[in-house]
């Protein structure tokens, strides 16, 4: 299979040159990102190796996966202080976030190498990892099969399988089962995720269920003064986090309804992709709303604008602590939803749409304990938020239930993951 994959890569390389040239002249940022990933091994070529100490490579796809991995990365550093610890990230925004959040935790942060077999082999030859840890998703055959051929332990952490993904894995089982079999262990978030892996043919002994790493997230360091200074005085704050195209129009429509009854309400909008900020400013203007950017606090003032756009990386979790209520994006459109635990950890009432497939169990649990409500359109969104804003007792009860839920669930999650990591490192001699 690996030979066929390599031949397909060669074919794609020859056919893909027009795309590369287009990126070079029309999307230079994407071209240089591609170039950095194509030469990712250069960052590893000169690294000083620490003999007799483990070498650990942790890989995450983007901001969400890096955020999930933060508590684990810090726990790894604490448990293995002498390890050479490398983190790779696929997306540019994810890498920027990792550099901010893990600068003091890791030895090296780099863009993930493209899954081009010669490049992957060079990276493994330079790094010689004892353990490869992959967070949640971003499966690449070349890397996974190369790890198995090299006898390198591989661990999937925070593993999850949505209904859509499970159907695809079953349909293409001949491809995905060999890839998943490259992992020494697949640590799943829930028993339901484990059952899906069992159905695909993974042995039960390789499927621990230590829980969801997102429960183990630490409270963020809050720069309350800096953020609060951007808000109108004595306002009530509605924070909409990780929104996608198609959702903001619904949010703006609900916001215009709400401000008729709650003139002190102020919207703090955090798009999933900060580079969409200019697009959102134009969209808001169509709804008669004006906006400022978090990155440009001097562009207007809180009294002259209707809402604030969070166009920075790494501040969303802290912003939830300033909010009175939160909406979780990616849920009113078919994006699978985003992590509601950051808002729950801040002790805030949580709202989201019907498309929380990627966090289905968490969403159901939050609804069941009265910490969250599901909405489907602008009217329902405005109605749900109105119910929260007019009843301070209900707001406090929802927030308290959300916080208690996270505090209960987070116990033991890190210990379970560290136990698996320690077992895998001990299974293979450090000096290869």
Instruction: Indicate which residues carry an active-site annotation.
Output: 65
Distance of CA 381 to the CA centre of its chain: 25
C-alpha radius of gyration, the chain, whole number: 23
Distances 239 to 5, 140, 203, 343 between C-alpha atoms, Å: 45, 35, 43, 9
267 three-class SS: strand
Query: Is 222 in contact with 205 (CB distance < 8 Å)?
Result: no
Closest CA to 116 of 186, 29, 20, 185: 20
Q: What is the DSSP string of 69-128?
A: HHHHHHHHHHH-TTSEEEEEESSHHHHHHHHHHSTTT-SEEEEPPPS-HHHHHHHHHHH-
Beta bridge partners of 59: 88, 134
**Phi-psi domain of 140 (left: phi exceeds 0; alpha: psi -120 through 50; beta: other):** beta
**Phi-psi domain of 101 (left: phi exceeds 0; alpha: psi -120 through 50; beta: other):** alpha
Beta strands across the sheet bearing 185-188: 108-111, 84-89, 55-60, 131-135, 153-159, 185-188
Between CA 26 and CA 183, with CA 88 as vertex, the angle to 5 degrees is 120
237 three-class SS: strand
Distances 268 to 10, 35, 251 between C-alpha atoms, Å: 47, 35, 11
Closest CA to 216 of 91, 76, 19: 76
Beta strands across the sheet bearing 307-309: 291-293, 307-309, 265-271, 236-243, 325-328, 350-352, 372-374
Element holding 393 (H helix, E strand): helix 392-409
- What is the Cα–Cα distance from 276 to 283, expressed in whole angstroms? 10
């Amino acid at each position: 299979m690996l030979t066929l994959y390599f031949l397909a890569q060669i074919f794609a390389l020859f056919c893909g040159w027009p795309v590369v040239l287009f990126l070079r002249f029309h999307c230079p940022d994407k071209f240089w990102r591609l170039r950095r990933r194509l030469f990712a091994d250069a960052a590893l070529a000169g690294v000083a190796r620490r003999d007799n100490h483990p070498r650990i490579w942790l890989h995450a796809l983007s901001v969400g996966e890096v955020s999930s991995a933060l508590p684990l990365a810090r726990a790894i550093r604490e448990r293995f202080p002498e390890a050479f610890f490398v983190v790779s990230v696929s997306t540019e925004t994810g890498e920027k976030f990792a550099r901010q959040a893990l600068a003091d935790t890791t030895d090296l942060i780099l863009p993930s190498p493209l899954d081009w077999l010669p490049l992957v082999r060079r990276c493994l030859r330079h790094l010689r990892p004892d353990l490869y840890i992959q967070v949640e998703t971003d499966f690449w055959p070349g890397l996974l099969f190369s790890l198995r051929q090299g006898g390198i332990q591989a661990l999937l952490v925070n593993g999850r399988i949505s209904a859509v993904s499970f159907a695809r894995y079953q349909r293409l089982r001949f491809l995905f089962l060999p890839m998943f079999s490259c992992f020494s262990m697949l640590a799943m978030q829930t028993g339901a995720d484990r059952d899906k892996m069992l159905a695909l043919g993974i042995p039960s002994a390789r499927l621990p269920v230590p829980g969801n790493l997102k429960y183990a997230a630490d409270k963020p360091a809050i720069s309350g003064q800096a953020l609060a200074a951007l808000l109108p005085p004595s306002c009530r704050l509605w924070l909409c986090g990780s929104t996608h195209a198609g959702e903001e129009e619904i949010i703006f429509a609900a916001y215009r309804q709400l401000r008729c009854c709650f003139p002190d309400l102020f919207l703090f909008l955090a798009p999933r992709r900060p580079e969409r900020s200019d697009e959102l400013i134009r969209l808001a203007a169509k709804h008669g709303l004006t906006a400022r950017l978090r990155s440009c606090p001097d562009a207007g003032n809180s009294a002259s604008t209707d809402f604030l756009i969070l166009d920075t990386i790494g501040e969303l979790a802290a912003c939830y602590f300033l909010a009175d209520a939160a909406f979780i994006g990616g849920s009113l459109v078919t994006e699978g939803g985003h992590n509601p635990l950051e808002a729950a950890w801040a002790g805030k009432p949580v709202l989201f749409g019907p498309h929380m497939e990627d966090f289905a169990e968490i969403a159901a649990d939050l609804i069941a304990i009265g910490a969250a409500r599901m909405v489907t359109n602008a009217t329902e969104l405005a109605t749900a938020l109105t119910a929260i804003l007019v009843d301070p007792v209900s707001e406090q009860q929802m927030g308290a239930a959300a916080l208690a839920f996270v505090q209960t669930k987070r116990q033991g999650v890190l210990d379970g993951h560290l136990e698996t990591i320690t077992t895998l490192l001990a299974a293979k001699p450090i000096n290869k």
